[in-house]
Amino acid sequence: MNEIYIKKMSGEFKKIPRIVISDYKWSKNGYMPKVYVFLAYEKEVLRVGFKVRECGAAQSEIKYEKDGEPVHKDGAAEMFLKPFGEIKYRKDGEPVYKDSAVEMFFKPFDGDARYLNFEFNAEGFGILGFGEGKTDRKELIHKYKKDLSVRVVSPRKEPVENGECKASGKEPVENGERKAGGEIERSAFVWELYFDIPFKMISEIYGADFRVYKGRRVRANFYKCGDETPLPHYGAAFQVESPFPEFHLPEFFGTLIFD
């Protein structure tokens, strides 16, 4: 059943029930990052959070590869961390979905075909679209970015879990730590992104009063993508029936119920 209850905010945000993005039906390379979505609401705002586990880039940069060179200068001191793949788009309104990105598509009113698409890359640059279909959309990110209060938690290294970082395809050699003899030790990285959706903003965009009450239903779906990352991937929380990657299909949105 594609129904999720949204609880009122109480205590630590990340302890509330989570939604899992796990439908990677379009994956051809086996890469399926683990993504968890957190939702909670207060009187005037819906709070949204994503926690993403990805294969990351971390290694000691090896500069000296010949006997007799100052090899002691190589090593862990050269370690660096970054999300999976490079972040290419660093301006709001750019195609951030081509980077490692998370998305929420949100349809708050029954009887109104228009929906909102919130899309952010791992550095918090985003898109906010509004309209009825994929091609007929109005870009609103520059007008409402401050209202969204986007927060990003920088990536941190964590131990690899079963099945992670073993995809096939164009896998970067820096996807791990270089050990003695050139061996690569796989590493996972976690990054988090949070933003708010003020109910006043929804009312302003739609020109209709949006209020929350117990039992109110809205429609939404949540996605993970990375069109131009070393391992392109497309995942959804609620299953989408399409032979090719496509998120702009509101008929497959799930139902969110305010509890």
Predicted model pTM: 0.84
**Number of domains comprising the chain:** 1
**CATH label of the domain that carries residue 74:** 2.60.40.1190
9 within domain boundaries: yes
Residue 90 belongs to what domain range? 3-245
52 within domain boundaries: yes
The whole-number average pLDDT for the span 5-12 is: 86
pLDDT over threshold 70, residue 89: yes
78: helix, coil or strand?
A: helix
> According to the model, what pLDDT value does residue 84 have?
61
When pLDDT is cut at 50, 70 and 90, the band that residue 186 belongs to is low
Alpha carbon 232 to chain centroid distance? 13
33 within domain boundaries: yes
pLDDT over threshold 70, residue 159: yes
The whole-number average pLDDT for the span 237-253 is: 96
pLDDT tens for residues 193-243? 999 999 999 999 999 999 999 999 999 999 999 999 888 999 999 999 999
The whole-number average pLDDT for the span 135-153 is: 96
When pLDDT is cut at 50, 70 and 90, the band that residue 54 belongs to is confident
31 within domain boundaries: yes
250 within domain boundaries: no
257 within domain boundaries: no
How far is it, in rounded angstroms, from Cα 120 to Cα 37?
Answer: 14
When pLDDT is cut at 50, 70 and 90, the band that residue 172 belongs to is very low
Q: Nearest-5° angle of CA 149, CA 222, CA 117? A: 60
